Amino acid sequence: MKLFGNASVTLSQYYRFCSYNTTDVDVANSIAISVKLPCTGTGTLFSATQNWTVNSCHGNNPYGWFTFAERYAVNTLGIDLSVYNHRVIVMPKGHTSFQEADCGWAGLSTTGPVRPYPPIPNSYLYSYTWIAGDTWGAPWLWFHELGHSLWLQHANSPGMEYGDIASAMGAAKGYGLRCFNPPQVWQLGWGSPYVPPITRRNLRRGVGRGYWIPAAHTESDHFLRIPLGEGMGADWDVSGVPDSCAAQLWVSYRASSVVYDMPWKDVGTGAVFVHRWNGSSYVAAPKTMLAASLRVPNGKSPSDITDMSYEEDGCRLVVSAKDFWLGYAYVVLCVKTSDDDVETDCGNRLDDDCDGLIDMDDPDCLRPPSKVVSPGGKRLPPPPPVRIPLADDEENGLSSTPGLIFEDLLHVMLNGKPRSPPSPAPPSPSPPRPPPPANVSGPGKKAAANSAGSPSPGVGIPKGGRRALRL
């Protein structure tokens, strides 16, 4: 099976690269067997005896296929299935020819294990994944579906399911394979914040706070985590963030590096990403949202990314990409003094609108505001995004199948015949950490990131040691 070895792109190498060498596919102890399913059967599904058929992928039918295959493996082949925590059925090619409508998926998966729903990672038993025979050779499809089995949800952008270019759980846009986005890396225990989480205690209205952050492929602990909900309404809160804001933002710098993480065609092309995800544990259900992609000055950025700052709606927090140096991006966090988009006080020594210009250095103080505003100084809202139908089972009337995620839209990506990306040379060794500007948090401020940014015991998957997936 070239998917798992003896190929230029393998699932095993995919996991090793994206997990920073902490997770692998245990090829030596994985097995593949051939099972011929009857057209119908009866099996014990969720403690009840139920009938199933291969002519339908809805309801409990996919689980019925597994019960038959598992009985065959145990009773006929004498296989001890207890050592295999990820179980995958690769369907025959052309399975839509004998199944009813709405079964044209590229893959299905349980979210997490089949049962029981574990309170701690060590009690994980096994998951179920189904891969279409016509597309089973795509490493990204396996990486995506097995991501669901590790509790990851789809990575979206506003108005678009799978729209996050920064994650294999999205990847509807972009050039080649990719790893996961920062919230998902954190969920899996593959990485932690580059500095301790940035809360209201670390922010001051009208004062920019800068950070040099490394490219994602160079360090596992590479992102900023900003839980704005912590400290809401506290007497000590002088951040200027409205009490109603509870968003949690994740800021990272991502650049195309090697064949396993190529959001863009050219190696070195990158952008600062801002994600929104309010989850707090490895089993959290919310989907990640790519809120913004920012152009990095002095760096190599895609031509279609032009914005260099982003304001989180209802929070007054502005994230700005300011500079690039030797693989690091310099980002500044600033909380506006009001909801206005202009410098409102030209003598308070504050950057009221968080555009990087203070008082009389801001043209707003020298002439009438030239920015595009509506009456009252408010920025005109962008046009509503084009709504693209979601591919989740609940959006397609498939909620009768418990726990399964139907990947109808994946065929669009897999059958679109994307260009095969070349295998560029591995990136050069990580550059020395750049000296941060005065009064700026940077590479030298990282010391407490692991302890403060990692999920607490019993809440997240602990880091350390390599984990193996047995298939």
Please say if the pLDDT value at position 149 is more than 80.
yes
pLDDT, the chain, mean: 81
Side chain identity, residue 86: H
Please say if the pLDDT value at position 191 is more than 60.
yes
| Residue 414 CB neighbours (<10 A) | 19
DSSP-derived secondary structure letter, 121: G
* Residues ≥6 apart with Cβ < 8 Å to 193: 186, 221, 223, 224, 225, 449, 452, 453
pLDDT-based confidence at residue 461 (cuts at 50, 70, 90): very low
| Residue 103 CB neighbours (<10 A) | 21
For residue 344, report the phi and psi dihedrals to the nearest 5 degrees: -90, -20
For residue 159, report the phi and psi dihedrals to the nearest 5 degrees: 80, 5
Side chain identity, residue 441: S
**Would you state the structure tokens that stand for residue 151, as one six-digit string?**
């509790």
Q: How are beta strands 288-294 and 155-156 bridged, if at all?
A: parallel
161 vs 451, higher pLDDT: 161
What sign results for the dihedral spanned by CA atoms 333, 337, 339, 344? negative
426 vs 119, higher pLDDT: 119
Taking alpha carbons only, the member of 253, 257, 260 closest to residue 274 is 253
Please say if the pLDDT value at position 171 is more than 90.
no
**What gap in Å lies between CA 62 and CA 60, rounded to an integer?**
6
DSSP-derived secondary structure letter, 157: B
Q: How are beta strands 107-110 and 248-255 bridged, if at all?
A: unpaired
For the purposes of burial, counting CB atoms within 10 Å of the CB of 163, is it exposed (0-12), middle (13-18) or buried (19 or more)? buried
What are the extents of the domains in the chain? Answer: 11-154+391-422+462-469, 184-385
pLDDT-based confidence at residue 115 (cuts at 50, 70, 90): low
* Residues ≥6 apart with Cβ < 8 Å to 177: 9, 14, 139, 140, 143, 168, 259, 260, 261, 262, 421
- pLDDT average, residue stretch 217-226: 98
**What gap in Å lies between CA 300 and CA 372, rounded to an integer?**
28
Q: What is the pLDDT of residue 47?
A: 74
DSSP-derived secondary structure letter, 5: S
User: The whole model's pTM is what?
Assistant: 0.80
Please say if the pLDDT value at position 382 is more than 80.
no
Per DSSP, the three-state class of 223 is strand
CA distances from 1 to 13, 32, 309, 422 (A): 14, 9, 46, 21
443 vs 76, higher pLDDT: 76
Q: Of 171-180, 204-213, 304-313, which range is least confident?
A: 171-180
pLDDT > 90: what percent of the chain? 64
Q: What is the pLDDT of residue 162?
A: 93
- pLDDT average, residue stretch 253-272: 95
pLDDT-based confidence at residue 43 (cuts at 50, 70, 90): confident
CA distances from 8 to 139, 329, 389, 453 (A): 11, 31, 35, 35
The H-or-E segment that residue 374 falls in is: strand 373-374
DSSP conformation letters of 234-299: -TT--S---TT---EEEEEEEE--STTS-SSSSTT-EEEEEEE----STT--PPEEEEEEE--TTS
Per DSSP, the three-state class of 126 is coil
**What gap in Å lies between CA 405 and CA 145, rounded to an integer?**
9
- CB 315, CB 250: distance < 8 Å: no
pLDDT-based confidence at residue 405 (cuts at 50, 70, 90): low
Q: What is the pLDDT of residue 2?
A: 65
Q: What is the pLDDT of residue 232?
A: 86
| Residue 338 CB neighbours (<10 A) | 15
**Would you state the structure tokens that stand for residue 464, as one six-digit string?**
């350390």
